[in-house]
Amino acid sequence: MVRRPRSSTWFAECAVLAVNRLSRVLGRGEGTVIGGRAGLALDPTLLSGLARGRTVVLVSGTNGKTTTTALVAAGWGGPVAVNDTGSNMVQGHVAALAGRPGVPAALEVDESWLAGIAAATGPAVVVLLNLSRDQLDRANEVRRVAARWRDLCATLTDTVVVANASDPLVAFAAETAPHVAWCDVATPWRLDAVSCPHCTAPLAFEPTGWSSACGFTQPRATTVLTGDSLSVDGVDVELDLALPGAVNRANAAFALTALARVGVDPRAAAARLAAVREVAGRYARRRWRGGEVRLVLAKNPAGFSAALEEVAGAPGELWIAVNARMADGRDPSWLYDVPFERLAGRTVTCLGERRLDLATRLDYGGVAVRLADAAPDPPSDHPVTIVANYTAFQEWNARTAS
């Protein structure tokens, strides 16, 4: 009997799984990057091979990718391949799909990688959450990303684009898509879309939506979020989320709209979302050093603005940690785009490698500060909310989990 040779995809997938396992055994992490790199070195088309025959949902945007992806996976029900730990480039996608044959996939995608990942995976749905400034010294300018998304959307003839109608830059990108499900989630951050992406005239924002003098206006949505009440294609759903804040209700709206497009009942999916209490440490509540801490990730002005809205009135102490490493962006001047004035009347403990920059910004905003060179002990009689940017959050997530 002559044996048929194994495909290059099979060998590369085995390499991904082996390297992932070795990385975990050696205590070097989950292997979601190095395992993916090993597989792609053997087969550069590995992602296409692993995605073939699956129903794939891609989620992209400046903020909310990880949480929305986790909500899609939770709402789907049953086994789902998912990269909900933040490894959102091709190596992470390969690692998420390896060893999970035949199951659907929910994948978060870095904004700059979206076109290539969509071409490789042939998604049923692409979710476009939002676009705003991020990591000024290394990220693409926001409108350039919107233009690239616009070019991509025009090619998605067999894909439904679930798009944020409340964000003018996302609407500009998605209006070229043949199939769009628009979501109205009342996006409050507007500083990156003050002018029309078509004619550059100032955009007018009214309670009924935004518009431009050239005729570019907010699209009519088929998903509408009002408080905890959601309508998805005329199906009314009441949200009962464990995840806090308006931003997570919006994330849930996008997730349920995407799931409806792949045949999942939005009411049944919404019931499953209630079980999601944290996502890769985000919103986790933990006992640590005799006190209670809650972790919140905020890595750019829009993300911080949303986080401050939720934590400004939170009981107990507020600590903010800011680093400026490669993954955070080296330039901390974005702190001056964050509306820290909302914290007036509170005292904020400043932590992280850029605690002095943070303290200076807070002082300009009339916020009392306390500097801490090292992680202080939390009080035992009231909770602490810790808001941290990307690498600072990873440190606090690991520190409080042990």
How confident is the model at residue 340, as a pLDDT? 97
- Per-residue model confidence (pLDDT) at position 20: 76
- Give the tens place of pLDDT for each residue, 329-370: 899 999 999 999 999 999 999 999 999 999 999 999 999 999
Whether pLDDT at 39 is above 70? yes
Instruction: Read off the pLDDT of residues 282-327 as tens digits, 9 standing for 90 and up.
Output: 999 999 999 999 999 999 999 999 999 999 989 999 999 999 999 8
pLDDT at 27 over 80: no
Q: How far is CA 188 from CA 3, 69, 87, in A?
A: 61, 21, 27
Q: Which 8-state DSSP code applies to residue 202?
A: B
Residue 111 gets which letter from DSSP? G
Give bridge partners of residue 9 from the DSSP assignment: none
Find the angle CA(41)-CA(115)-CA(74) to the nearest 5 degrees.
Answer: 85
Residue 10 confidence (pLDDT) = 81
Pick from 69, 70, 73: nearest CA to 59: 69
Q: What six digits make up the tokens of 112? A: 């700059």
Q: Tell me the C-alpha distance between 214 and 271, whole Å.
A: 42
Nearest to 54 by CA among 31, 82, 34, 32: 82
pLDDT score recorded for residue 6: 52
The pLDDT tens digits of the residues spanning 178-234 come to 999 999 998 888 889 999 999 999 999 999 999 999 999 999 999 999 999 999 999
CB 9 within 8 A of CB 99: no
Task: Please give the class, per CATH, of domain 285-401.
Answer: alpha beta
**Which residue is it, tokens 């990718």?**
65
What is the Cα–Cα distance from 155 to 143, expressed in whole angstroms? 19
pLDDT at 5: 40
The CATH number of domain 53-87+94-272, selected from 3.40.50.1970, 1.10.357.10, 3.90.700.10, 3.40.1190.10: 3.40.1190.10
Using DSSP bridges, classify how beta strands 235-238 and 291-297 pair: parallel, antiparallel or unpaired.
unpaired
Spans of all domains in the chain: 8-44, 53-87+94-272, 285-401
Kindly report, residue by residue over 42-57, the tens digit of the pLDDT: 889 999 999 999 999 9
